[in-house]
Amino acid sequence: MVIANYRLRYRATKQFFFRNLLKHKIHTSKEWSFMKKVPYEVLDHAISGTIDARDEVITRNRERIQDGGPLHRLDFLTKKKPRQTITIRAQYCREPLRFYLQLLHNRDMVAAAGPPNYRKKDGPVYRPPLHHERRRNNNKWPNEEGAVECDSKLTYDKKLRQWTFSWVYEMDGQDGEIQAEPTIAAIDPGVVNFLTWYSPTLGSGDVGNRDIEAIIRLCLHLDNLIGKTTRAPARKRISHKRAQARVHHRIKNLVDEMHKKTVLWLVHTCDIIVLPIFGAKRMSIRKLGRRLGRKTVRKMLTWAHARFRQRLLSKAEEAGVTDVGVLNALLQEFFEDQATSPHRKKEIESILTNFKKQPHAILFCQELLQHPDTSPYAAWYSLSVYEDLLPQWYTGSAMSPRDRLDCRTFLFDLLRERYQSLPPYVANKLSKLVVDIGRKEYPQDWPTFMHDIFALKDRSLILCLVLCKTVVDEFMSTRDDVSAARKAELKAHLLQEAPAIVLLALEVLTAIYDRCILAPPAFASPVDGLDARFGIGLHSPVKSPHSLHLPSIGISPSKGGFPTTPVSSTSGDTILHGGHISGDDALLCQLALDILHSLLAWIPLSDTLHVPQVLTTIFKFVQLNDDSTVAMGSMGMTCLNELMSRNYVPREFLTFLMLISQQVCELLRYLTDDSNGTPKIIGLDETYRMKFTEFLDHFVGKHIGRAEATADFPLNEFLILLFKFTFSQPPSESYVACLHIWDTFLEYIISKKATSRDDAQTAEYIRRYEDGLVSVAKEVGKRLQFTENGDQLRDIDDERDGEAESDWEKFFRRLRSVDVSAKTAELYPNQVLLFLFDSVIKHSDALLNIRDHGQAGALNDHASDMIAVACIFGRLSHLFTADFESNVSSATSLLERFIGLLALPHIRNPTPFRNPELLGACRKLLLFTCLALYIHWFAAYRAIVQQNEAEEAGFRGLLEPMVQLALSSLEDHADISLAASGLLCSITGTVKPNILDLPIIQQYLHVVHTESMSYPHATKVNVYKFITYMYVLPFGNVSDEEIRSRSSAFGEFSQGLFGPYQQLLASDLAHGPAQSKVKRQVRHAVEAMCAMMEAVGSEGTNAKEMVYSIVKPVIRPTISREEDFIPETLQLFLGILSRSGLKGALGTREGSEILDKFVLVLDSLVGDTSKSFEGMLPSIIAFCTNELDECVQDENIPIDEARSHFYSLVHKILSHHWRFFFGSHVNRLIGRSTSDTLHEDELRKLLQVIYKSFTTTNADIFRQNLSALQDLDSRYSMYSKDVFRETMLLTFVAQFLNCLLNKSHDLLREDIIAGVTKMILADVPRFREQLVPSFISTRCAGMSHEQQVAVGNYLNSIQDSTNCPELLGLLVNDYGYFVTSAEHHY
């Protein structure tokens, strides 16, 4: 009844059950009847002690079962036990606490203790044991004012006849703090020596050296007593047993003395004590493979290391020596406490960093990770200590194999046991640390590494996948923490394990998919009985292709007709697009897909990798795209894209292709289904949509030819669904990517057309795709027009918001880069041009007829659409030129429309969208550009006019308005004026019409010299080119008389420009206020003269002679002035910008700009390669090497532009004046010159300037000068010159090797390797004999002999341009590994 009552009602405490059971026994049995009068508290104490003992025995036996040790047994207290203990409860102690023997014990005990107040002669009063006055001043004994707060115990030892009172009291421990330079001691328990300690600051030592021998002598004496006791008569055995107890007590006292003295010294000397777990009990068990002898085990157990550990931890907490709690508090203060100042954080960081450098910090961290109160931050810090010290484990004798095994076992067990309870960032760090150990030890020292990981799947599948993912990432890492040979070995091992990893990932994905996606629904689908060929189901609404009402795209030419049914499923798998995967399942899916993605990126796609199974599984997840599963769908798409990008073609390609067709067509049908009014693609995740579009791009780009040649592939249906998928999307990145797919398909059709030799078959082939591709081009054109697609286009922001381009400009630019309309027009020109002509007529009529300001919005839309159509027509200009005669009327009509649109004024009424002024400027700019693209059509028209004068009127009807509009636009915005002047330049330079007699031209020639002074420089150059072409480039063959007439007219025109300029040259230059005007006139005349000469640079002799006759009177006086002016001015500036002047000037922004401009002036002068300039070259070189170089090398001076221009100047000096340094090769051949180098000192100084630039951190300057060296070698074979090989070659090679090994410019590694390869190969013997030994002695001084030999082998094995880059790459990798290992070794 009592037990039933306990089970049913009172399960709160065990004490309640046992009290009732004992009470029942007392009242119902004679065995327990004597306890009726026992006080309640005594019974309660007995029951509590029994329960605690029982729980302790059960807990220890569980541990013993795992360790294989003997089991504990629960014993009852008896009167025969030699030690009897009672508990004195704190709540029953009176204040003040006093013990009186007469109250505690009987008379015999009191008599044995002696009289209570016995005083010896001339001595203190004798107090018996436990007397309150005797104990008052020792061991925190409470006096009359004190209070008892803890339970205490009183023990009587019968054999020793000793009373022991265990007084328990509380005290506040001191707060331990880690000092900036703490005193750390690591102790190693032992046998011969009780312990050995080491401290970086105090040295090392041992405690209890061979003291165990004295204790063992007592143990042997105890053994003899035990033997005597067994042989002694019964009356003497009691005395022998008491003697045994005294010896045993003596041994315990000696051990405790060693413990206490050692603990006291440690806590008073050290701030941090690293105490490992000794495991004496584990080492003494034979079943666990004990290797110690029995004498050694006895000595080890006699020292009682576990008791010493507990005493040390207690005393350390009392004395404030650093332990787990202090480090937890320190890390919590650093990471969590917002009140911690930056100075304090810096101090804590310094403390933690210094602690990491301690040799035995890893032992302390091991203790820290085992402690139950360790905070996550402390655990993370401890793991970082392991991570930092990991490279030291494998260098020299830093850690023995046994210690490495213990650490590896500890970390792996810790990860396995506590992965679920650790915070994610700690668990991930611990996982990576375990894999890093495996990366070092697998398979030599840890052959079961991968097996241990796979074994975790039954215990923690998430941990198993996390470790697999980390293994895949780390084994393929390119870090320099292992050698190149080890990297190749790890890759080979990973290849062996890859199939098992893939199978594990597939098992996880399949199981979760079957459980979460294929689980039976709560109710049956109402459409389950429909035709399975269409894949119709609850999750996949599908339409028949014939119900899409889309144009027929076309099919493979190998088919006889169009398919009448969509592709049917090739397998019995159900395709679902939604489900619910959450929690651990979602995490497992993400990990498995990550693993597949990482492996598919590089692993060979062999049959052992189960690629078909991988594809089938991935496609299941690819179909998941609802809100809860779209993340898995996107990751599946990423895996699929990785596979498709490698152009995977399996043996069973037909099965592979049909699988793709089934899955892709199903997904396209689902996403484009608009049965609910809106296609599902509208609300689809943007990332998923982009990845799916990327997959379609890969498939079309790599497999469309194979798909077309496969009779069973539903190409027609695929293209229809792709059409709907493309134009169901809003204007976005994925829409542009879809157009790129069509662009790729069109390129495939065009390439196939170009390679075909059968014209009839090609025409039939092209005709198959006509309707569909023309529909694509039409739809693209409509989607660009505001009148057709205004709602979606207006959602695109047209404001730049401080950026270079607005979203609208970016979108429009990307659309122009994907030229679907132009490529479709190459295949079907008539159909595409007809559609575009209709658009031009529609929009141009609207622009010409709308005059109501209330329709400004519609006017803007038509203008924007007209711009888009004009851009398309600009790309199609070659179609009109290629077949001029058949397209002349169409092109004429088109150009008339464009010219009419140019004449329209700006729309100035504001609209809710787009700036009207900007729209008008864009309209003019694009129309001028479009007309310039038709300039070759005008040239063809001009040739027709030359043969048939009846066409003259039509030709001039187009040309004259165009010229007039261009001339009137020269005063507009800079971009418009540049486009208009470029059009004029193209007309007179390519078409070459006779337009000199036009009134608008004559009128403009009278004012051009004045008006063009305000033009931008580029526009001005184009204008004078245009005028020059009018005079000097007549069309066809002309008579000499006409040439003279044109030359005379050109001279009269030029006199208006050069006449004032010649007058200025003849007179003194103006000073004061008029000087500015004179400068403008001179500059304008010089720019015009340069434009005229540039215009005829590539023309015939007549044109050049005509221009030369015009500029000849102007050039001679100009040059005569410059011959004296330039050297004088140059010397003046060189004197002003001396070194002191430079440093003073560069302190300000104006000074930096002056220096930059002066360097540009020098750059222009150096471009003169004539003999007359060589007199100034030494001064310029001296100024660059002596004055400018020092300022440029100082990176603290902000002259980035001037610095780049300076090195460009140095390069130009060497490049343009190579003969100044090396002379003429012809002169050396005929004996006029015997020296290979003429100005060796100047050459060395310039090369030294370039060399110094490679010691800076500026990557742009480094790349610029590296390219300069390569240019000099490619043009002049500079590396082969004796002066370079003997003086500078090894210097440059050594510097480049330093850059590679220091990784100071690692982004330029390939360029540096390419450059240094050419230098080394220019003189390989010199490189091996001189540089390699010095390099090894300086850069490899701290390495081992084997490592130095390896570095030397890399350098000495260089033979040609094939193996040199490979060997240098291996050198860079292994050098970093060798340096790291050498640092850890020392």
**488-519 pLDDT, tens digit each:** 899 899 989 999 999 999 999 999 888 888 76
Distances (CA, A) of 1077 to 918, 1008, 1055, 1062, 1074: 34, 18, 19, 15, 6
Q: For position 522, what pLDDT does the model report?
A: 44
- Per the CB < 8 A criterion, the answer to whether 688 and 627 are in contact is no
Average pLDDT over residues 188-199: 86
d(CA 1311, CA 34) in angstroms, rounded, equals 99
Q: In the structure, what pLDDT confidence band is assigned to residue 541 with cuts at 50, 70 and 90? A: very low
Cα first-last separation, the chain: 75
Buried b (16+ CB within 10 A) or exposed e, 1057-1089: bbebbeeebeeeeeeeeeeeeeeebbebbebbb
Which is it for the CA torsion 666, 669, 675, 677, positive or negative? positive
Q: Choose the weakest-confidence range: 386-400, 827-841, 931-945, 1365-1379.
A: 386-400
Q: For position 561, what pLDDT does the model report?
A: 33
Residue type, 585: D
Q: For position 507, what pLDDT does the model report?
A: 92
d(CA 1070, CA 1077) in angstroms, rounded, equals 9
Q: In the structure, what pLDDT confidence band is assigned to residue 336 with cuts at 50, 70 and 90? A: confident
- Per the CB < 8 A criterion, the answer to whether 1245 and 1185 are in contact is yes
Helices assigned H by DSSP within 1096-1199: 1101-1136, 1139-1145, 1149-1166, 1177-1182, 1189-1193
Tokens of 129: 């044991």
Tokens of 706: 């194979």
- The residue count of the chain comes to 1386
Which residues are within 8 A (CB) of 772 and not within 5 positions of it... i.e. 6 or more apart?
Answer: 551, 552, 553, 554, 719, 720, 723
d(CA 299, CA 263) in angstroms, rounded, equals 20
d(CA 329, CA 348) in angstroms, rounded, equals 11
Q: For position 433, what pLDDT does the model report?
A: 93
- Per the CB < 8 A criterion, the answer to whether 137 and 105 are in contact is no
| Bridge partner list, 1212 | none
Which residues are within 8 A (CB) of 337 and not within 5 positions of it... i.e. 6 or more apart?
Answer: none
Average pLDDT over residues 272-284: 74
Tokens of 1255: 């010691």
d(CA 1027, CA 981) in angstroms, rounded, equals 11
Q: For position 907, what pLDDT does the model report?
A: 45
d(CA 915, CA 863) in angstroms, rounded, equals 12
Residue 85: enclosing H or E segment and its boundaries? Answer: strand 83-88
Q: Are strands 184-189 and 272-274 parallel, antiparallel or unpaired?
A: parallel
d(CA 69, CA 437) in angstroms, rounded, equals 31
Residue type, 707: A
Q: In the structure, what pLDDT confidence band is assigned to residue 308 with cuts at 50, 70 and 90? A: confident
The model's pLDDT over 736-753, given as tens digits with 9 standing for 90+, comes to 888 889 989 999 998 888
The model's pLDDT over 802-811, given as tens digits with 9 standing for 90+, comes to 565 666 666 6
Q: For position 1075, what pLDDT does the model report?
A: 59
* Tally: H helices and E strands in the chain: 61, 7
912 against 174, higher pLDDT: 174
d(CA 309, CA 317) in angstroms, rounded, equals 12
Which residues are within 8 A (CB) of 239 and not within 5 positions of it... i.e. 6 or more apart?
Answer: none
Cα–Cα–Cα angle for 938, 939, 943, nearest 5°?
115
Residue with tokens 């603990």: 263
d(CA 1385, CA 393) in angstroms, rounded, equals 9
- Per the CB < 8 A criterion, the answer to whether 487 and 1373 are in contact is yes
Which is it for the CA torsion 92, 95, 97, 102, positive or negative? negative
459 backbone dihedrals φ, ψ, rounded to 5°: -95, -50
The 10 Å Cβ neighbour count of residue 1052 is 10
Q: For position 994, what pLDDT does the model report?
A: 84
Which residues are within 8 A (CB) of 1255 and not within 5 positions of it... i.e. 6 or more apart?
Answer: 1295
Which residues are within 8 A (CB) of 46 and not within 5 positions of it... i.e. 6 or more apart?
Answer: none
d(CA 1051, CA 1056) in angstroms, rounded, equals 9
| Bridge partner list, 904 | none
d(CA 256, CA 262) in angstroms, rounded, equals 10
Residue 156: enclosing H or E segment and its boundaries? Answer: strand 152-157
Residue with tokens 């606490």: 97
Which residues are within 8 A (CB) of 455 and not within 5 positions of it... i.e. 6 or more apart?
Answer: none
d(CA 150, CA 145) in angstroms, rounded, equals 16
Q: In the structure, what pLDDT confidence band is assigned to residue 909 with cuts at 50, 70 and 90? A: very low
- Per the CB < 8 A criterion, the answer to whether 180 and 354 are in contact is yes
Distances (CA, A) of 1099 to 988, 993, 996, 1029, 1047: 13, 17, 20, 10, 16
Which residues are within 8 A (CB) of 364 and not within 5 positions of it... i.e. 6 or more apart?
Answer: 186, 272, 274
| Bridge partner list, 272 | 184, 322
Q: For position 755, what pLDDT does the model report?
A: 84
d(CA 546, CA 564) in angstroms, rounded, equals 8
Q: Which of 1090, 930, 1070 is nearest to 1023 (CA)?
A: 1090
Which of 532-546, 811-825, 1141-1155, 1359-1373 holds the top average pLDDT? 1359-1373
Residue type, 1016: P
Q: Choose the weakest-confidence range: 406-410, 859-863, 939-943.
A: 859-863
d(CA 981, CA 986) in angstroms, rounded, equals 9
- Per the CB < 8 A criterion, the answer to whether 152 and 165 are in contact is yes
Q: For position 538, what pLDDT does the model report?
A: 26
Q: Which of 112, 128, 115 is nearest to 165 (CA)?
A: 128
Which of 390-399, 782-791, 819-828 holds the top average pLDDT? 819-828
- Per the CB < 8 A criterion, the answer to whether 953 and 897 are in contact is no
Average pLDDT over residues 720-731: 87
Q: Environment class of residue 1323 by beta-carbon count within 10 Å: exposed (0-12), middle (13-18) or buried (19+)? A: buried
Which strands, in side-by-side order, build the sheet including 83-88?
83-88, 152-157, 162-166
d(CA 764, CA 435) in angstroms, rounded, equals 61
112 backbone dihedrals φ, ψ, rounded to 5°: -65, -30
The model's pLDDT over 993-1043, given as tens digits with 9 standing for 90+, comes to 888 888 888 888 888 888 888 888 889 889 988 888 888 887 666 677 888
Q: For position 569, what pLDDT does the model report?
A: 40
Which strands, in side-by-side order, build the sheet including 184-189?
203-209, 193-199, 184-189, 272-274
- Asked if pLDDT for residue 544 goes beyond 60, the answer is no
- Per the CB < 8 A criterion, the answer to whether 272 and 182 are in contact is yes
d(CA 859, CA 919) in angstroms, rounded, equals 11
Average pLDDT over residues 1174-1187: 79
Q: Environment class of residue 1260 by beta-carbon count within 10 Å: exposed (0-12), middle (13-18) or buried (19+)? A: exposed
Residue type, 571: S
Q: Are strands 152-157 and 83-88 parallel, antiparallel or unpaired?
A: antiparallel
1103 backbone dihedrals φ, ψ, rounded to 5°: -65, -45
- Per the CB < 8 A criterion, the answer to whether 577 and 513 are in contact is no
Residue type, 173: G
